[in-house]
Structure 1
Amino acid sequence: MPALVDSWRLSFFLALAVIGKATAAGYSTPVFRATPWKLAYATFYGDDSGSGTMGGACGYGNLFNSGYGTATAALSSVLFNNGYGCGQCFQLRCVNSPLCYKGSPITAITATNLCPPNWAQDSNNGGWCNPPRTHFDMAKPAFMKIAQWKAGIVPVMFRRVPCVRRGGVRFSFQGNGYWLLVYVMNVAGGGDIARMWVKGSKTNWISMSHNWGASYQAFATLGGQALSFKITSYTSHETIIAYNVAPANWQVGLTYTSKVNFH
């Protein structure tokens, strides 16, 4: 009988892999693949330590504590997409500049910030992040892996790639007993979030609204309840369910880690 049960489970999960549905256990089918290479431009901000890139429009806070380190970039608004670009992963390589490092090394970065438009500058002379330009303002240590810092700005080829993360999705809590604001970090797969729901141990699923960057909010009384989350990727449309992420005595200011993540 155990062998028959295992065989049934295998068939069940294989079927899900075909139709791309999430399971009650919190798994979903990997559907996001690397995109074709495209042309853009890149600059850098901050110093060699990357300290100047902490925080940012995605709300990840200290990027070392969040697991992103200095392999990060601020995106022009075309890529940032009102915050839905937060957490997305890219590969970049410097091209068509004598200040590119030989061999066109490829570096990987995560989107953690917005590079805002600078309408006081021409889009081709200082206003590098003005729409409709596709631009990466990289943390200086990341930029220096593909080009010499004195280049200032270089053409790059880039592509979206799946995010590979260790451990589960992280949920950082803010708010109060009547309003829960959650920053979502360490997301694998597409790296981004399109929709999010929260479920208390005494409630049904409650849809959360997009606040800003990588944060979602629910106006609900959730204190004293264990919390579960359901999130859907903006890019791949995968959905995972993370049950009982936070205990009933959860507190704002703390970060809780799920046991599941996207592929």
Structure 2
Amino acid sequence: MGFVLQRRLLFLFFSVLFPWVGAAGVSSRRERFEEWRLATATYAKETQGTTVTGGACGFGDLDKSGYGRNSVGVSSALFERGSACGGCFEVRCVNHILWCLQGSPSVVVTATDFCAPNYGLPDDYGGWCNFPREHFEMSKAAFIQIAKGKSDIIPVQYRRVNCKRFGGMRFTMTGSSYFHQVLITNVGSDGVVMAVKVKGSKTGWIQMGRNWGQNWQCDADLQGQPLSFEVTSSGGRTVTSYNVAPPNWRFGQTFEGKQFLE
């Protein structure tokens, strides 16, 4: 029996006894979400920052949109021109006995804003969000779950995790008679939307482009038609919500569709 054939038979034998041996493609994607990375974190005072009232992702009032106060603005190295909006990160304070809370507790936060760089200050003294630094500007409510409130900048570890959401994805209609725009919120699974299509009763599927944050648009007048949406996450999963909006939908209204299953 040839060596190659022996190896194939052994692989089939172990694949039957241990099915995960042949699942390298699945496990490699999962490991990407479980790997801890080093970064830094500060917190924004709610009277000054936009972490609670929305920001560059377009979510608006975070309490009303369902994201709450466990939210962060992320530096450009993490923001990726808005594609990180809605993604969830587990963050914990490390390597600082004076500022980190005992036991190294972690908090899961949602990326809802952009932490702008300040190239007038050094990267290690005020320019925390300068590229290519990985930095989290947290809400104070999230920050004090892992560190003392009197802390300044702290060293942290973070990793991407799945987002736990209640209910379906939400589609808020905006735009005008010349173009259609939709804000997509409350996205489960990895939380990150990478592609969107819309379909009216009088159209085929239309590819939408990212306008800013999680606002997606296309150059079409879709008024007077029931609307369906196809949403693809960064993990490659797709969910289609048919006839989410009724024919008489209006700009400013929000409708609930399907959700990514765990």
Which category of TM-score, normalised to the shorter sequence, fits these structures?
A: 0.7 to 0.9
After TM superposition, the structure 1 = structure 2 runs for residues 54-93 of structure 1, keeping only pairs within 5 Å, are 54-93=53-92
1:133 aligns with 133
1:159 aligns with 159
After TM superposition, the structure 1 = structure 2 runs for residues 202-217 of structure 1, keeping only pairs within 5 Å, are 202-217=202-217
Counterpart AA for 2:66 = G
Deviation at 1:57, TM superposition (A): 0.3
2:183 and 2:216 in contact (8 A); partners too = yes
Mapped partners of 2:34, 2:215: distance in 1? 26
Where 2:59 maps in the other structure, the secondary structure is coil
- For normalisation by structure 1, the TM-score amounts to 0.85
1:39 aligns with 38
Mapped partners of 2:30, 2:245: distance in 1? 28
Larger Rg: 2
Deviation at 1:51, TM superposition (A): 7.7
Unmatched segments (≥5 aa) in structure 1: 1-17, 21-30
Where 1:141 maps in the other structure, the secondary structure is helix
1:27 aligns with none
Identical aligned residues as a percent: 46
Mapped partners of 2:54, 2:156: distance in 1? 25
- For normalisation by structure 2, the TM-score amounts to 0.85
User: Bigger relative contact order, structure 1 or 2, given CA contacts below 8 A and separation 6+?
Assistant: 1
2:254 aligns with 255
Deviation at 1:259, TM superposition (A): 3.0
Counterpart AA for 1:110 = T
Alignment: residue pair count: 234
Deviations 1:53-104 (A, max 9, x none): 2121000011001111100000000000000000000111101111111011
Unmatched segments (≥5 aa) in structure 2: 1-22
Mapped partners of 2:51, 2:227: distance in 1? 34
1:107 aligns with 107
Where 1:231 maps in the other structure, the secondary structure is strand
Mapped partners of 1:36, 1:51: distance in 2? 29
Where 2:63 maps in the other structure, the secondary structure is coil
Mapped partners of 2:158, 2:138: distance in 1? 13
1:260/1:215 Cα in 2 relative to 1: closer, same or farther (>3 Å)?
Answer: same
Deviation at 1:32, TM superposition (A): 5.2
1:262/1:184 Cα in 2 relative to 1: closer, same or farther (>3 Å)?
Answer: farther
Mapped partners of 1:137, 1:129: distance in 2? 9
1:80/1:254 Cα in 2 relative to 1: closer, same or farther (>3 Å)?
Answer: same
